[in-house]
Amino acid sequence: MPLDLYDPCPCGSGQKLKFCCRDLSDDMERVLKFQENNQPRMALNALDELGKKHPENTWVRTTRGGLLFDAGDLQGAHRELAEVIARDPEHGFALALVAMIQLSEVGYDEAREEIERALRRCVMVRPDMAGNLALGIAAWMRMKGHLMASRQHLVLALQSATLPDQQESIFVRLAEFDGTREIPYPFRSVYALDEAGGEDPQAVAGCGCWGEAAQRYAILAEEAPEEFGLRFNEGLCLAWSGQASAASEAFVVAAGLTDDADRAEECQVLAQLLVLGQGDDVVKMVDRRFEIDNVSKWLTDLDSSEKFVRVDEPRNREEGTPEGMFHLVEGDVIEAAEAESLTLETVPRVTARLLVQVATDDEPAAIDLVARAGEEIDTAEAALREVGGELTVREGQDDEAVDLVPREFEALYTTWHFAPKTAESIKRRLHRDYVKRFVTEIWPATPLPALGGQTPSAVAGDDQHRSSLAGAVRVLETRCEQNLLAVDFPAVRQAMGLSEPTSVPVESADQLAMLSICELLRIDPASLEDEFLVMLLNRALLVRHSGLMYSVLTEYTGRESLQQGEDYLRASVTLADLCEVRHERAAAFEWLTRARKAAAGLEGEFERTLQLEMRELTLRLQDLEDPELRTLLDRLWNVYGSKLPQLREELQALVEAVDIVPPWTADGGTVTASGLWTPGGTGEAAVTGEADEADGEKKLWLPGQD
């Protein structure tokens, strides 16, 4: 793009290009063309020539520094840009690039001073560079696990973006972050600074200089130690600058300064989540790797072992997957035919996973053993060595941590082993029973750091621990939400002697947009006008909180004014999915039925209805004894398969995979239009109810048929 002589000069002087570096514009335009054509070496050569003629020009040096940065020569880039800053300490472009270099070399904590200096300057004169720097920090913070800081830097990048395509790209990244269920939902939330402290620290925070803003709020809080807003703001700014432990302490203090139980609870949940799983309060899942010589022999020996149970299907193995996968099982494996007798006491537990890896060009053949660090991984290794063969640990190789589980939720991460073809209904029953046991028996008896090492049951009803216990219950709800576990949390709160949160009234669209997720959960959807209900639904769908979505969608679909069109169809399908997660199968089928009715008359009705039928099939296949399964299979085969031959191939493959006799085979019988299954016979006539008189006999007459 040609340079505009009336734009600000790229050297950073603040003057127009026409009155500043006009004599360099033609040469620099050539450099820019090299950059646009992805010819960085040509651009650097041209800059070298220009640098000989104009050794002090900041436009030349910053452009060269940027090219070296893009090429990965951080040392060279730093050298060029340091010269620019020495001459112009407020040069935004140079400050931003130096801050990026420092971030990549030493990390945010050590580079914070340079980063905040660059942000303070760039927000005013180079918002594009402030946005680029904020994006880099957001990525760094997420990699380090500072999730509140990562999100807030994405917000800063969005606010700093000047071009529509940049804004759209960053908005998509922010939406992806907010919709990532693996991130605790309080970290995916909007938070606003309290008005306490006035404009001075707020202006500093507005530039993204949250470390400095936190210091200013801390000083003000020392002068007014009873003011909640100052400690709350300090906690937010510390969290946004990646100082999790200090932020947690500030939030705990803030929780003790307010009489608002709901605000205190929200401070406590942030405080507890920020330090959850830190230090010794964590259980490590580790991978211990052993080099092996003979993969085939190991597979044979493992298949013969009584302790290790194969869980993969060798003939269906995909390229790049392990050659063999096994469970080390504690307890007796119950065959599928007898699995109905399984209880939480008798279901066998998986204590380790084993993966047999073939040799590659880069790595020798190996066995990966994955289990909890400590006794379980050592016991698993001993069991593996009993199988036979040589195991070698590479010298200097340590166990690799593959997951970190907060100790208070260790029991929740239990894996069971089921024999092949065990009914999904049995697995669901045990899963539901175990979650209930964890929430009502195990967790209440677990000592929690947030409660001073006491258990929730021990402090229930104690006013001194009320806010910290409420925060702990919310942390439990957060963990269950991450794992899509349906739990009756009003009942949990009641058992802990905690009152229900106060309802939040919604008075404007702006107010609704700025509510945190914890506050959204306190809204009564039934109290909202349609306009606000739709806004709340959009936020619920964005953050994907299943409990919030369920309550809002239930209200939404219950209003006659909203029961039409594409939106109602999507709402019904989403409710069906949520009911499945909540183990409410009958309700899930009912919502799929409503969705099919909603699809009638919409564009692409046939395709939409087929998709809904296939959703229902997926759900019914979880229980092969479901009496409606054969009816659905027959309908799919005859009504849809007659128009889509490929569908019949997929259906045939599906029934073979689950090992059931389909209704369209000679042995499978047929299903009539009324839903009655009769042995033998096939054909669309069974679906339409038409008589087949080819052999001189009519089919069974049923009431209601002509």
End-to-end Cα, the chain, rounded Å:
77
- 518 bridge partner residues: none
Query: What's the pLDDT score for residue 703?
Result: 35
Residues whose CB is less than 8 angstroms from the CB of residue 286 and which lie 6 or more positions away in sequence, other chains included: 370, 371, 372, 373, 377, 399, 400, 401, 402
Percent of the chain at pLDDT exceeding 90 = 65
Sheet holding 400-406, edge to edge: 308-310, 324-330, 349-357, 366-372, 282-291, 400-406
Mean pLDDT of 147-161: 96
CA distance 397 to 288: 9
CA distance 496 to 585: 30
Structural Rg of the chain based on CA atoms: 32
pLDDT tens-digit readout, 417-449: 999 889 888 999 999 999 999 999 999 999 999
**CB burial of residue 490 (10 Å; 0-12, 13-18, 19+):** exposed
Split at pLDDT 50, 70, 90, the class of 75 is confident
CA torsion, ordered 164, 168, 170, 174, to nearest 10 deg: 140
Which element (helix H / strand E) includes 288? strand 282-291
> 532-558: per-residue pLDDT in tens?
999 999 999 999 999 999 999 999 999
Question: For residue range 629-663, what is the model confidence (pLDDT) as tens digits?
Answer: 999 999 999 999 989 989 999 999 999 888 888 99
Task: Tell me the DSSP string of 593-633.
Answer: HHHHHHHTTSTTHHHHHHHHHHHHHHHHTT-TT-TTHHHHH
Q: In 3D, which of 213, 209, 248, 208 has the Cα closest to residue 230?
A: 213
What's the pLDDT at 47? 80
Q: In degrees, to the nearest 5, what angle opens at C-alpha 466 toward C-alphas 463 and 470?
A: 165
**Interatomic CA distance for residues 94 and 84, integer angstroms:** 7
DSSP assignment of 549-560:
HHHHHHHHHT-G
Token pair in block for residue 81 = 């840009």
Higher-confidence residue of 97 and 455: namely 455
Supply 589's token pair.
């089928």
Closest to 140 in 3D by CA, of 152, 122, 128: 152
Task: State the Cα torsion 264-265-268-274 to the nearest 10°.
Answer: -130
CA distances from 186 to 177, 183, 566 (A): 12, 8, 31
> Comparing 489 with 564, which gets the higher pLDDT?
489
Hey, which CATH number is domain 199-274, 2.120.10.30, 1.20.1070.10, 3.40.1710.10, 1.25.40.10? 1.25.40.10
Pairing of β 366-372 and β 349-357: antiparallel
The enclosing H or E element of 351 equals: strand 349-357
DSSP state letters, 586-603: HHHHHHHHHHHHHHTTST
Mean pLDDT over 155-163 rounds to 93
pLDDT above 80 for 672: no
CB contact at 8 A, 329 and 417? yes
**How far lies 672's CA from each of 245, 382, 597, 627, in Å?**
66, 59, 22, 13
> Please, what is the angle between helix 261-274 and helix 466-482, to 10°?
60
Q: What is the pLDDT of residues 485-494, one digit of tens each?
A: 989 999 999 9
5 in Cβ contact with 23 (< 8 Å): no
Cα angle at 474 between 473 and 480, to 5 degrees? 90
pLDDT at position 592 is: 95
Judge contact between 216 and 204, C-beta under 8 A.
yes
Q: What's the pLDDT at 464?
A: 92
Work out whether the CA dihedral 571, 576, 577, 582 comes out positive or negative. Answer: positive
CA distance 119 to 102: 14
- Tens digit of each residue's pLDDT (9 = 90 or more) over 106-121: 999 999 999 999 999 8
In sequence order, which ranges of 504-544 are alpha helices (DSSP H)?
A: 509-513, 517-520, 530-543
- Three-class SS state of 328: strand
**Better-scored residue on pLDDT, 82 or 401:** 401
Written as one letter, the residue type at 585 is R
Q: For all residues of the chain together, what is the average pLDDT?
A: 88
Q: Looking at residue 193, what is its pLDDT?
A: 96
pLDDT single digits (tens) 57-72? 777 778 888 888 888 8
H-state helical runs in 423-488: 424-437, 456-459, 466-482
Cα–Cα distance between 268 and 475 in angstroms, integer? Answer: 9
C-alpha 538: how far from chain center: 18
Cβ neighbourhood burial of 96 (10 Å; 0-12, 13-18, 19+): buried
